[in-house]
Amino acid sequence: MLTSVAGFPRIGDRRELKFASEGYLSGKISKDELRKAAAAIRAQNWKFLKDSGISLIPSNDFSFYSRVADAAAALGFIPERFREDGLTGEDLQFALGRGFSGKNGPAEPLSMKKWFDTNLHYLVPEFDDTSVITSDCTKAAGEFNEARDLGINTFPTLIGPFTLLKLTEFTGKRGIEDVADETAEAYASILARLAGHFAEYVAFEEPSLVRDLTEEDRALFERLYNIVLKRKGSAKVILQTYFGDVRDAWSEICRLPFDAVGLDFVKGKKTLELVEKNGFPRDRLLIAGVVDGRNIWRTRYDDAAAILGKLSELGLSAAASASCSLVHVPVTVKSETKLSEDVLRWFSFAREKVQEIAEIAAVASGAEGSDKALSANRKLFATERVKRNDAVRQAVASLKEEDFRRVPAFAERERIQKARFGLPLLPTTTIGSFPQTAEVRALRKKLRTGEIGKAEYDESIKALIKRIIGFQEEIGLDVLVHGEYERNDMVEYFGERLDGFLFTENGWVLSYGTRCVKPPVIFGDVSRKSPITVDTSVYAQSLTKKPVKGMLTGPVTIYNWSFPRNDIPEKEVIYELALAVRGEVLDLEKAGISIIQIDEAALKEKLPLRKEDWDRDYLSFAIPSFRLVTSGVRPETQIHTHMCYSEFSDIIKSIDDMDADVISFEASRGKLEILDSLKENNFRTEAGPGVYDIHSPLVPSVEEIKTRIRLILEKLPAEKVWINPDCGLKTRHEEEAFPSLRNLVEAAKEIRDELKK
């Protein structure tokens, strides 16, 4: 049985690519050295895949910044501001991702979005009136040849035309329809040239096929590939899909003359059913993604082999693979030295997953010696992965409807809280964090290296809190925060203090550019050992008469930014997290904290890719989990939440159903369409649409903020509106954050006065 891998982590075992890129960008190493570092990582990956016996090995899965931006560059989907200074190759990629200062002044970087429902980001291509479609295969052919020179036969893999067009922002006169044929011709020419370089297989990745597709989308997909596939010559073409099933485009996929199709059998809940019910052409290779490419657990071989067995019963020729590129998992478990063998034997990172794919193929085809691998795997799965925490399981199992309902209802609470807090109209606040200054970072480092003790560290944090409370009082904010100086990360901070979490040493995965994150691992049942934030919040509140918000991270966000366990249902893991956060909420309330904010920054981003799955697979427990966190507080305790992106127009009702008292969200970029939907839907929750962009270093003027507030007041009743920035301030400098907040308070005051007149 053949085996295939769609993509492999490009960062290197020890994040070599990150360090090389940063070295190059700061002028410490030459372009040649950067290229050598990148080539060394690619060579190591290819050799590993070959030595592991993988039959179909990818090339061009590498990137210095974003594979979507690589495709955009190859196809000429580049806006004017980047075509001035003759930027090419890695320099163009860095410019697209970071912006640059060229002959015509500074150019803003492309905007960044999350790659489907993963935590990896891509750069959004822009196509303007000056964009010229090209068919540059320098990178793809270059990497293919580089592998061939090492004696390794690879298949170049590219982001396909359908996905590229769907992800591009068309800012000029032309749109998808106008450029579709020309784009397909360009892809066809790239394909023809790769075939000319003797590539046996070429893959086009089309994850956009797993979304809801309209009639037109399907027609577009078919039209594009009718053009592309005309020129395939001797090459065999792989259509690679991932992140779900391709239920909408099934007939088009089967009709088009692809030689191989990669399907996701892990996230694609309906994939097997589609194959069984609708049939799949027998003359094609079906690359079956049976190993989870997005989580870090070992695969149960019997399950994977059962799927492959069914495919062979159907008379199909299948290859074993992972559900998607392995770029979403860390490189290797071998880099972990601190975790116990009991834990590590359950881990499977990219290298281990490759070995699993090879073993599963052997098991499925009954290859000689494969019974040993199978019995070892069965032995592992016959043991217990985690020790149950019966109290937690019991608590989740016995949840009742009233645990999810806060009383009294919103309107009554709003009245009670308005009376309790006596805040002015348009109350001002911030999202929580203040700039993490060099001093804060140094402090954390000193604690880590043992240069200072915990007591000294805590005292220094207290001093920072005192200073920032003083600042907020001085400028006249209405609802204060403690600044979150003690947290380096809003998920890690809580994960480290909860039972059930593990932390890896080197479990880095790509986030954006060559930057990585190290997500916590939810290993077992989650519970709270003792109060986490109470002392800090109580201290901060003791310094002022104004309310200071208690700051927590919500269960869905903790879940979404971790590697979650997969041995119990998602809903149960989230409810365990919710119960832990609920305990903290109640302790904060008991300690006298009157306003508590529970951030659900990542709630929207994990919405299933298809509308019909939204409720059943996500919202039906994500939204109640928030209510579970908050339902136990008294009516006069005010619950806030925060969301980073305001693109939640299509789930407004669900957001209202969280039943928070106040929500803040990013709204200063973009067109404020969200306000229209809030208005249309009669949004009940009080709302703080961000009045300035914290991602930019610019200090907004009082006038600019007033304009923004006026826009908001056109749509929302003043009694419902809060005034705050878009998001936390931790990534800004104080020199930017402080004057911005002064202006924010001033703007709110002036608008209040205007309203009084």
Binding site for Zn ion (CB under 5 A): 601, 644, 727
Cβ(323)–Cβ(291) below 8 Å: yes
Q: Which of 484, 473, 468, 481 lies closest to 430, judged by CA?
A: 481
607 contact, one of ligand GLN, Zn ion, none, CB 5-8 Å limit per kind: none
The residue (of 21 and 537) whose beta carbon lies closer to ligand GLN is 537
**Nearest approach, Cβ of 487 to ligand GLN (angstroms)?**
8
Contact between 435 and ligand GLN per CB under 6 A: no
Q: 46 vs 51, 460, 515, 522, CA distance in Å?
A: 9, 49, 22, 31
706 contact, one of ligand GLN, Zn ion, none, CB 5-8 Å limit per kind: none
The residue (of 517 and 538) whose beta carbon lies closer to Zn ion is 517
Contact between 247 and ligand GLN per CB under 6 A: no
Contact between 520 and ligand GLN per CB under 6 A: no
The residue (of 431 and 619) whose beta carbon lies closer to ligand GLN is 431
Stretch that binds ligand GLN, among 77-85, 508-516, 670-678, 726-734 (CB under 6 A): 726-734
The residue (of 472 and 553) whose beta carbon lies closer to Zn ion is 553
Secondary structure of residue 707 in the 3-state scheme: helix
CA–CA separation, 138 and 679 (whole Å) = 50
730 contact, one of ligand GLN, Zn ion, none, CB 5-8 Å limit per kind: ligand GLN
CA–CA separation, 295 and 665 (whole Å) = 29
CA–CA separation, 395 and 576 (whole Å) = 8
599 contact, one of Zn ion, ligand GLN, none, CB 5-8 Å limit per kind: ligand GLN
**Nearest approach, Cβ of 429 to Zn ion (angstroms)?**
13
Q: Which residues of 684-721 are buried (b: 16+ CB within 10 A; e: fewer)?
A: bbbbbbbbbbbeeeebbebebbbebbeebbebbeeebb
Cα dihedral sign for 421, 427, 433, 437? negative
Token pair belonging to 586:
């109640």
The residue (of 267 and 642) whose beta carbon lies closer to ligand GLN is 642
The residue (of 192 and 644) whose beta carbon lies closer to Zn ion is 644
In 591-701, alpha helices (H): 611-614, 620-630, 652-657, 673-680
Contact between 601 and ligand GLN per CB under 6 A: yes
Q: Which helix (H) or strand (E) holds 159?
A: strand 154-159
The residue (of 147 and 644) whose beta carbon lies closer to Zn ion is 644
695 is catalytic: yes
Q: What is the DSSP string of 351-391?
A: HHHHHHHHHHHHHHTT-TTHHHHHHHHHHHHHS-SS---HH
Contact between 556 and ligand GLN per CB under 6 A: no
Any residues with CB less than 8 A from the CB of 391 and at least 6 apart, and which?
Answer: 527
CA–CA separation, 725 and 432 (whole Å) = 10
Contact between 600 and ligand GLN per CB under 6 A: no
> Active site residue: 121, 642, 695, 733, which one?
695
The single residue among 564, 688, 689, 728 that binds ligand GLN, judged by CB under 6 A, is 728
Strand positions, DSSP E, 173-310? 201-205, 236-240, 260-264, 285-291
Strand positions, DSSP E, 514-570? 515-517, 521-528, 549-553
Contact between 642 and ligand GLN per CB under 6 A: yes
The residue (of 331 and 477) whose beta carbon lies closer to ligand GLN is 477
The single residue among 727, 737, 741, 745 that binds ligand GLN, judged by CB under 6 A, is 727
Contact between 603 and ligand GLN per CB under 6 A: no
Q: Which helix (H) or strand (E) holds 90?
A: helix 89-98
**Nearest approach, Cβ of 726 to ligand GLN (angstroms)?**
9
Stretch that binds ligand GLN, among 13-21, 86-94, 173-181, 431-439 (CB under 6 A): 431-439
Stretch that binds ligand GLN, among 210-218, 256-264, 429-437, 629-637 (CB under 6 A): 429-437
Rg for the chain, CA atoms, rounded: 27
**Nearest approach, Cβ of 507 to ligand GLN (angstroms)?**
21
Cβ(508)–Cβ(574) below 8 Å: no
Contact between 249 and ligand GLN per CB under 6 A: no
Token pair belonging to 411:
């309107």
**Nearest approach, Cβ of 104 to ligand GLN (angstroms)?**
34
Beta-bridge partner residues of 154: 57
Token pair belonging to 151:
């004696």
Any residues with CB less than 8 A from the CB of 597 and at least 6 apart, and which?
Answer: 432, 549, 550, 551, 552, 639, 640, 641, 642
The single residue among 218, 462, 706, 730 that binds ligand GLN, judged by CB under 6 A, is 730
The residue (of 77 and 471) whose beta carbon lies closer to ligand GLN is 471
**Nearest approach, Cβ of 694 to ligand GLN (angstroms)?**
9
Contact between 688 and ligand GLN per CB under 6 A: no
Tell me the per-residue interface mask from 447 to 486 with ligand GLN, x by CB under 6 A, - otherwise.
-------------------------------------x--
Contact between 644 and ligand GLN per CB under 6 A: yes
CA–CA separation, 240 and 204 (whole Å) = 6
Contact between 431 and ligand GLN per CB under 6 A: yes
Token pair belonging to 595:
């306003």
As annotated, the active-site residues are: 695
Residues of this chain that interact with ligand GLN (CB under 6 A) are 431-433, 484, 490, 551, 599, 601, 642, 644, 727-728, 730
